[in-house]
Structures are given as structure tokens and as C-alpha cells.
Amino acid sequence: MERIYQYILQEHLQHDRQMVFLAGPRQVGKTTISRTAASLTQQLIYLNWDYEEDQQLILAGPQAILNHYHLLVPQALRPILIFDEIHKLKRWRNYLKGFYDKYTELMHFIVTGSAKLDIYRRSGDSLMGRYFPYRVHPLSVAELKRTIPADGDIQLPQPLATDLFTALIQFGGFPEPFTRQNKPFYQRWNKLRSEQLFQLDIRELTRIHELAQMQLLASILKRQAGELINYSSLAKLVRVSADTIQVWINTLQSFYYCFEIKPWRKNITRSLIKQPKIYLWNWADGEDIGARHENMIASHLLKAVHLWEDRGLGEYGLYFLRDKEKREVDFLVTKNNRPWFLVEVKSQDTHSVSENLYYFQKQTQALHAFQVVIGMPYREIDCFEYHTPIIVPALTFLSQLV
């Protein structure tokens, strides 16, 4: 299956010297995407930290890798060296820094991982300026229609077959279960993925020992997708402190189990101050169908925001709106720190626009306001031509993103 990230990866390797960092959840397709770079070189080298033979070669140092693959002889098409899961190596960033600084003229570097790759970007980063990150997301409506991104952020709509849209809701956007579209296979795949997350990734890379309680927290968050996070309430259910809950949720985010969306406060009278909402990377894990619909839209919006930023189109953000009178709109997308468009999600058409869309569009001065309906048939309209709040099919709206 062709992915939009293949085009972005190849574009990067043809024009930029920095290392490529592909980060995202397990089984989202990072390794497959990285291997498509073979079309740009005569020598593609793949080293996976989880393979004992590769691990020994990595530990032997850059010179050992260069000698093993005869990389000290310059080539017309530069070799491409892929490091998979190298974040499990102690001081992996310093390892890459030394390797890259000394040998960047001889080869391209691709680094992939299911955790940790961007955790340290907030503070001092020894790799600053040496890599560009690309956050790999599950499949989306727009990606199922086109794998070459538009020059800008918004694209013209394209229809997607209804059965593919239904499969995306039911099985999620991870490539293998989406392609198989088989419920027993999905259940086995999802169980194995959960075991790998807790028994391999989190056990190996953190100092958290209470994995059973952490798994309990994850199962509770699954049922609370789309709700405000109440740390005290979760602490009572899991029988740990509220501070521990916060640390564990941050850890689950680092390993791409879930993500937070924070409230937008600027220009909002009596806005909600702190509490974020939680969503799952695998929206098919959601048990309530209405919450799953909202989660799927949240995931599509987060993918768009990340990809627009990673391609250098500007600064984008994803928020929600809620005030102390409990007026709420599901999502606000910002562009260069200004409100751009609002999204309210509905499973079925109610034939009337939510009053909260009107209220918060006036408060934020957002350019667009959409009531996005999951069960509404596709319509051939450009949603972004309208500035007043409108009702739009999810199939149309999502096809205009990425």
C-alpha cells in the first residue's frame, strides 16, 4: 500500500541533507516507508536494534558499520543507512551525532522508532539542526485517495467509497487490520500490539514497574476517550497518586497509545483553564460509537496539523473550546497562532447547526466553522469556501485534509 509519507521521504532525501526521523506508533508502517527509499540508491542498509546481529554491529561503532558495508568509497548515488529502534541504545543521540557529523557527505541517514525520538526536543538537543522529524500517522480518508500532498494545506475534495469509510471507522487506520478488514484478525492484532507496548516497550525503556496498574489506566482511558482528564478520579480508580497518573499518561503519550488536546483560552470569556481531553491513536479501540467517531475526527485533525508542520507550511495547533457555562465545541485548529476553523462532530445530521459553533466563532473570530456529520453522504463542495457555520459530510471535509 502506497503511503503519503513515501513521497515526503523521497522529497526530503532528494533535497535535504538532514537525517530523517520517522516517529510513530508500532505497526503504523514506519519500517515499510523507510525501505521505499531503496528506489533512490543502489545500497540501502537496514539495521534494527532488536536483531542481535545488527545490535552487535551498532555497538561496535560507526567504523565497524562503514567497513562491513564498504561505505568509505564515495558513490554517485549516496547509500541510505536506516537505524530502526536505535533509541533503545544508551546515549543514542550522541552516537548518531558523531556518526552524522563525520560521515554525512557519504550517506543519508533514516532513523525510525515507536517511542522517544522527539521526547527531548523541548530541552537541550544534541542533534539540533541535524534532523527533520516526520510523525507517521495511521491511514486517513484523504490518504486513501491521494498519496502526493498538495502544495498548501487544504486540498479539493475527492469521494471515497462508503465501504472504505466504514472499514476505517470499524478497523482503524493501521495498515494491516484496515487492509484485512477481519474482526477476529483485528482482535488478535490489537491484543498482541497491547502486549508489545507494555511488556516490551514500556518495560524496557522506563523505570515503571507497576505495569498491571498502568494497563488498568490504559483500559480506563479507552472508555473515557473524548472526555476531560480528571487526575484525582483516575488516581482513586487505579489506586496511585494523581501525580503518578499524570506521569503515566505522559508515558502512554510518548509511546503513542493516546494523545491530549488542551483547551484554547485566548479571547474566550470564562474559559476552562487546564483540563485536557484524551484520545486514542487507535480510534477503533473506542467502545462507544459516538466517542469513536469523535476520536477518528480528532486523529485526522492531529495528522493534518503534524504533517503541515513537518512539511514546513507553518505553525498549526489542535485544541478544544469549553467555558465554565459548559458550552463546548469539539475542536479548534489554529494556523500561525490564530484560530482558523472550528469542528463540531455529529454521528447523524440534526438539520440544524449547533449554537455553540456560532457562539465560539464570534468569540474566536475563526475563519470557518464546521458541523461535521459522520453519517452524511459525500457532497462535491469545497468546505473552506464558506465562512458562516455550515453542516458538512465527514467524507467531504476529511478528504480536504491529508
Axis-axis angle for helices 231-238, 211-223 (nearest 10)? 130
- Domain of residue 171, residue span: 141-399
Same domain, 154 and 41: no
Same domain, 99 and 149: no
* pLDDT of res. 355: 98
Q: What is the pTM of this model?
A: 0.96
Same domain, 326 and 303: yes
Same domain, 200 and 236: yes
Q: How far apart are CA 399 and CA 402, in angstroms?
A: 7
Local structure of 177: helix, strand or coil: helix
C-beta contacts of 337-343 below 8 A and 24+ residues apart: 339/264, 339/364, 339/365, 339/366, 339/367, 340/366, 340/367, 340/368, 341/366, 341/367, 341/368, 341/369, 341/370, 341/384, 342/366, 342/368, 342/369, 342/370, 342/389, 343/297, 343/301, 343/370, 343/372, 343/397
Q: How far apart are CA 280 and CA 286, in angstroms?
A: 8
* pLDDT of res. 322: 94
Strands (E), 104-257: 108-113, 131-135
Same domain, 222 and 250: yes
Q: What is the CATH number of the domain that holds 31?
A: 3.40.50.300
The DSSP bridge partners found for residue 329 are 321
Same domain, 38 and 154: no
Q: How far apart are CA 144 and CA 164, in angstroms?
A: 9
In terms of DSSP bridges, do strands 338-346 and 328-335 run parallel, antiparallel, or are they unpaired? antiparallel
Q: Judge whether 169 and 374 are in contact, CB under 8 Å.
A: yes
For the stretch 107-148, pLDDT in tens is 999 999 988 676 545 445 689 899 999 999 999 999 999 999
Higher-confidence position of 114 and 57: 57
The tally of domains found in the chain comes to: 2
In terms of DSSP bridges, do strands 368-373 and 316-322 run parallel, antiparallel, or are they unpaired? unpaired
* pLDDT of res. 391: 98
For the stretch 2-55, pLDDT in tens is 999 999 999 999 999 999 999 999 999 999 999 999 999 999 999 999 999 999
At residue 230, does pLDDT exceed 90?
yes
What share of the chain has pLDDT > 90, as a percent? 91
Same domain, 62 and 35: yes
**Domain ends where: 95, 116, 135?**
135
The DSSP bridge partners found for residue 80 are 44, 108
Q: Judge whether 136 and 28 are in contact, CB under 8 Å.
A: yes
Same domain, 129 and 147: no
Same domain, 99 and 220: no
**Domain ends where: 80, 114, 135?**
135
Averaged pLDDT, 380-385: 98
Averaged pLDDT, 388-394: 98
At residue 324, does pLDDT exceed 90?
no
What is the Cα gyration radius of the chain? 22
Q: Which of 121, 119, 112 is nearest to 49 (CA)?
A: 112
Averaged pLDDT, 70-92: 95
Structure-block grid coordinates of residue 74: 564515495
Same domain, 326 and 253: yes
Q: Judge whether 357 and 369 are in contact, CB under 8 Å.
A: yes
